[in-house]
Structure 1
């Protein structure tokens, strides 16, 4: 057992596992939760009753769901990033122009977290949403972010996290991944070639200040067939890079 493991409180961990399960299943009953978490019904019910009394869980049509009180936490967490306010309008405009889904990501630990998403008229819904955390190495936002990090930080990521395979197209070889990042640095943008979700590709660019501080990244997600058509025009990568530059300027001088 590690020092971190010894400090973990089981009841708190169970409560958050319950919340996580409800979030991903759009609500659940006591039996579903007990079975999924391998706990007794009385344990599941006790946690749910406590969470409900505090306003973090509500009952809807006989099922427990995550309550709106969490919105306050989300707003508070997101407000720590000046990037959000500076990026929102530009992301909306980019989604409008392209007609596709646009997202803004920041890194927290070794994961990428979407702090904003917006959709154009042709956008395809995926499994991600505001607050979703994703692997950095298999997304356009994540790869563009990693490519902008100092060498020591990048090596720490590769050593601590590794390159988990999400699809058959995920780059899992460290040397091949380093070569990919070198290309991204040279061209100024990253491509996600179905590396996280089959059928979806993306173009991403880092949001970097004049002092070379990488704040996050922006990307546009497109179904594979539409991105192949767009790449022949070479317009999407230029649009994404332009938006990244605008957001960096707004963040710096707002």
Structure 2
């Protein structure tokens, strides 16, 4: 279950409500007893929260089970689609997936983690669980490292302090100095590699997209099986294509029609 840093400023009842919603998102449908057991809460507490969430149309009751409502889909789409600059990336993500016939994605940083805003799959793409809206650790993905490399150093340290550098796979960078050294290389060359660091036998290349003021908007990446994404194709052809695409997007953002 996703963990959230807690502080003395947090309101306990709000934490509980969101813990319940996140558990429902993971399990898709479950009952009061199972939620109470998993979260170590009284069944009456869980029932009261579920009743409130149901009355607000955020939870649906089906028999003795509960699930999240489609209202979350509406909220997420409104947040994403109300930012015109993000709509531009949907088309480019689709084109990337089609061009390489692999999986392509666009992510942004939010509260120190990466969030998938768009994900498209090409003809030969490997389908994994990284769906739209999913949150990921930045240090274990190509797109995430591309973002980290272009954030202020103080922000990078804050993110590491908050979330740490957990090993997602045996190849994930978990040493702060090693990561910082790699981020310097990424900043110089303009692109990042993920060599089985987020999912074994899956490689990826990511590039940041900058706004006209130099800030990082997000990052695009292409990922595929390590037996296909290797050699010059992986280390030069894909990065060159992504760099060209990022440059095109940045020019469109700087000089809109």
- Verify same fold: TM over 0.5: yes
TM-score by length of 2: 0.88
Distance in 2 of aligned mates of 1:160 and 1:34: 28
Distance in 2 of aligned mates of 1:46 and 1:14: 11
Unaligned runs of 5+ in 2: 1-5
- Decide which of 179, 198, 201 is 2:200's aligned counterpart: 198
Aligned counterpart, 2:53: 51
Higher relative contact order (CA 8 A, sep 6+): 1
3-state SS of paired residue (2:139): coil
Relative to structure 1, is the Cα distance of residues 45 and 232 closer, same or farther in structure 2, using a 3 angstrom cutoff? closer
Aligned counterpart, 2:3: none
3-state SS of paired residue (1:227): coil
Pairing of 1:1-254 with structure 2 (within 5 A): 5-60=7-62, 62-79=64-81, 81-228=83-230, 231=233, 234-254=236-256
Relative to structure 1, is the Cα distance of residues 175 and 7 closer, same or farther in structure 2, using a 3 angstrom cutoff? closer
Name the count of aligned residue pairs: 251
Distance in 2 of aligned mates of 1:7 and 1:233: 46
How far apart are residue 31 of structure 1 and its match? 1.9
TM-score by length of 1: 0.89
Relative to structure 1, is the Cα distance of residues 157 and 233 closer, same or farther in structure 2, using a 3 angstrom cutoff? closer
Distance in 2 of aligned mates of 1:253 and 1:36: 52
Unaligned runs of 5+ in 1: none
